[in-house]
Structure 1
């Protein structure tokens, strides 16, 4: 089987091909149940591995689910997570978002929920952050470099720093995977709703307790067409030289 190529009108004429890929990379939640070849899946993971990793430690691992029986066991967990999201954070349209557009997005989320067992590929990026090697001399030098006030703040924000450090080692690879999927004509979207029941997901997939999971990425051939993303204009989000 070969992967289908979805045709679309260029949305970044005159720019690099990658720009066109990025500008048409919608979150695609309606997937065909058709199997994806192993070599195509390997291309996606290769793209992820090419992403940067803090200190080039490369402590990531990827769980790739294609077995229908495993997917069927994950589907009830997915439903619980999605229903929790839709009952809380996802209950109302974000400020400034058109209600009709939000309704279409919710319909796609519900479609994915109700057809999750038919998902061709599910990718779970994982990361185990190595234990830091600390010695008294290094700690003293760090405190001297930061100063006492900043050192105290740093000590109280360790949990946030750790989470961001881990995420910065994983999410660049995830973005690479999403770009590769779009370039290959595949639909995909990044979700983190599985974290509502992370222990149950890890238990079902045999993921070690000390390994953190960072996303659940369903991948498959799209039902429907790719199209331009809708985002805020650059002029609204840029603060030049200072806020």
Structure 2
């Protein structure tokens, strides 16, 4: 975990399908809400498909890089930030050479169907809250449902990234494709009810794995309640 850097400079060397299947197996071991196991993975290793996706990716990535150009976080030096931005630019410029892409999806209709199929139980649960809390819970139910779906997908993505690191593969979790998700779904023939949550370019890294750049634990940790801290 301490050396699992986002690797955006990748060799064009193909990744064996058997190895990618092992990564998906590792992803499938992640927990999901109610053990629903709803995450799905589309692996794109066909050069024609990758070439079709490339213009969409470059457009989304260039937007992101431009929008973030002056947004160096306090946890990075300007030099470190520029290296990160340059790596993103490299991936955009060499996207057609990426050996494989893993698009992590979820059929959101199947998740919502579970709730709709149990409307009686849901109604009783709300009734048990009392009127005031039922109103509050109802107002937040949509947020709860959306984040519950995401919480059943992103642990699998982390498993996938860790398995890639253990296998000597470079990878990075990206979501900028969501700016133009409809176009990606058209290329991949994804139906309306399937949403994409992560887009993972993967391959053998050109650079070296190394210690991740993170602030000390005190920067992240608070006990028992939120404490306002100076920047």
Q: Which runs of 5+ in 1 are unaligned?
A: 1-21
Runs of 4+ in 1 over 6 A off after TM superposition: none
Q: Post-superposition shift, 1:96?
A: 4.2
- Determine which of 179, 182, 185 is the counterpart of 1:199: 182
Residue of structure 2 in register with 1:175 after alignment:
158
Instruction: Tell me the alpha carbon deviations over residues 9-65 of structure 1, each in whole angstroms, 9 at most, x when there is no partner.
Output: xxxxxxxxxxxxx00000010000000011101011101111111111112211000
State the distance in 1 between where 2:2 and 2:54 align: 31
Q: Post-superposition shift, 1:177?
A: 0.4
CA spacing shift, 1:89–1:156, aligned 2, 3 Å: farther
State the distance in 1 between where 2:182 and 2:119 align: 35
- Determine which of 49, 67, 78 is the counterpart of 1:70: 49
- Determine which of 83, 86, 103 is the counterpart of 1:124: 103
Q: TM-score, normalised by structure 1?
A: 0.86
* Superposition RMSD in Å: 1.6
CA spacing shift, 1:220–1:103, aligned 2, 3 Å: same
Alignment of 1:161 with 2:140, yes or no, is no
CA spacing shift, 1:91–1:85, aligned 2, 3 Å: farther
1:82-93 to 2 correspondences below 5 Å: 82-93=61-72
State the distance in 2 between where 1:223 and 1:235 align: 33
Q: TM-score, normalised by structure 2?
A: 0.90
CA spacing shift, 1:94–1:235, aligned 2, 3 Å: closer
Question: Number of aligned pairs?
Answer: 222
